[in-house]
Amino acid sequence: MLRTIRAFWHDQRGIALILVSVMLPAIIGFSLLAIDASRVNNLHNDLQKGTDALALAAAAELNGRSDAWTRAENALTNLVSNSTRFSDGGTVPLIAGAGTASVDPTYPACRSKGRISWCFLATIPANDSDPVTSANYAASATVTRFIQVQAQPETFTAFFPISIVSSGSAANTSYNLSTASVAGFTSGVCNYTPVFMCNPYEMVNGTNTAGGVTLEQAVTDPAVHRRLIELRMVGNNAAYGPGNFGFLAPPDGVGNGAQALAETIATSRPLGCYSAQGVSTKTGQNTGPVQDAFNVRFGINANGNAFNSPQYGPASNVRKGASTNGNGNGNQCPNYNQLTFNGTGNMGLPRDATTPYMGGRMGDGDWNLSGYWSTNFASASYPSSWNTTKPTRYQVYKYEMANSLVGTASAGGEVGTPPSSCQPPVTSVDRRLLYGAILNCSALQAAGNDLNGNSTNLPVEAFASFFMTEPVPGASDGGSVFVELVDITGRGGQGTLDNFLRDEAQLYR
């Protein structure tokens, strides 16, 4: 009997079955745990990708315009839909859905609709580990730079008998899972002239001095589009208002003097990049080098030949209604003081007949096309449609170049071809276009910004292109810059500035 018991004790046959039986609960438990972990990971990825995509879609609309919140909500509703799986609800679409968003009565920047909620933010914490709080919420659409999108919690019930995500009893294996994403929009331009213009169409104390026209209407309505605008510098530390202009800080490495500023204005290859979220102004005067920097575009020599490189060449069409006086030679690149304007037989692009807007500095759009054409191109005809809808001066300027009329002499002998002694004309860009940032100067000054000094982080309403219709006179003659608004970036723009744009919506957390 003892021998039988001893043999049975040392017999190892079938021990694997015993070990498996003992370990089977653990094996099943670890299998369920792996399945649950995979389901949690997949659900979290679906939610995170969904809020990431929604945040990016909404952030692309946060360009500082007054309707940015409305457009961001439209993007959340219409642009993105992401399905989540493995929750108790099965396949659930993560969308804002139709209908009106619910606005948080305490924090109007926060809303919810469908299966998401969001908050518009003016700032985000410096450290990613710090939570977004009400101190970061935006007061209005114009100061909004970020958006936080959060998915409504989705319920997940685990197979494993103990919660793997949250603490709790073994019987409580259902829990909620949510994600949040923060995205922002950065917009700017590169290769742009360091100039800013005070928005001619800004509302000041409830009044629009441009006849109630918005900036977007100004580039789409032909009658408004051809209005001539007189841009003026501000002197004696006076306040900036619609129609004034000033200078932006040149890019790093250019220098801080008046000549450095002038070179960045005069060049046909500007290097500066400027962000719509904030530009910095720079003091400067529209005399000396700065006046010359504008006028090199018209084939006018800078005093002292300060701009004697090909990058400072004139436009291909410099017709300006001027002839050289006794101090110059018509075959030489003249200085401004060697020119006589509006002489017999020569006519530059005329100003508007009347200037009823912006305190007498914005015209009515009615300019003497027939007189200009008969003076300069008596034997040529222009499109008959111009008799019905008068063109902009910029359209006429481009028509002259497209139809080989630049070399045609006016009754007084002026041609649009730059003198051969000037720098060769620049053909890579349109030199008669001036590029700049449009600022709501009155609102910025009311907020405490000093535009006469070196102010920083000033938000940009839009970037724009302006057509210079005539050279800039000296300070004794007013020093004004006469322009037509050609195009703007953003909503209402015609797309001609897209090559300058550097727009990017990006995730921050």
Beta carbons within 8 Å of 243's beta carbon, 6+ residues apart: 197, 198, 200, 229, 230, 231, 232, 358, 359, 361, 362
- Percent of residues in the chain assigned helix, strand, coil, to nearest 5: 30, 20, 50
Please give the pLDDT value at position 328.
47
Cβ atoms of 111 and 101 within 8 Å: the answer is yes
In the numeric block, the tokens 């331009």 are attached to: 189
Residue 66 DSSP SS3: coil
3-state secondary structure 289-334: HHHHHHHHHHCCCCCCCCCCCHHHCCCCCCCCCEEECCCCCCCCCC
Cβ atoms of 271 and 251 within 8 Å: the answer is yes
Cβ atoms of 479 and 232 within 8 Å: the answer is yes
65 vs 68: CA distance, rounded Å: 5
In tens digits, the chain (509 residues) has pLDDT values of: 777 777 767 766 767 777 767 777 777 767 767 777 777 777 788 888 888 989 999 888 887 777 889 889 988 888 877 888 777 777 878 887 777 888 888 888 999 888 888 999 988 888 888 888 889 998 888 778 899 999 888 877 776 666 555 554 445 667 778 889 999 887 788 888 888 999 999 988 888 888 899 888 898 899 999 999 999 887 666 788 889 888 888 766 555 667 777 888 888 888 778 887 788 887 655 455 677 888 999 988 866 557 888 898 999 999 999 887 655 445 567 888 888 887 678 999 999 999 999 999 999 999 999 999 999 998 888 999 998 889 999 999 999 999 999 999 999 889 999 888 888 999 999 999 999 999 999 989 888 888 877 788 888 888 999 999 999 887 655 678 999 999 998 767 888 888 888 777 888 88
449 vs 335: CA distance, rounded Å: 37
Would strands 481-488 and 229-231 be described as parallel, antiparallel, or unpaired?
A: antiparallel
507 vs 509: CA distance, rounded Å: 6
Question: Count of alpha carbons within 13 Å of 450, Cβ hemisphere only?
Answer: 7
Tokens for 295?
């006028």
How far apart are the two ends of the chain, measured CA to CA in Å? Answer: 76
414 vs 349: CA distance, rounded Å: 13
304 vs 328: CA distance, rounded Å: 15
Cβ atoms of 267 and 311 within 8 Å: the answer is yes
Q: How many residues does the chain have?
A: 509
The reported pTM is 0.72
Picking from 412, 386, 410, the residue whose alpha carbon sits closest to that of residue 399 is: 386
Cβ atoms of 480 and 230 within 8 Å: the answer is yes
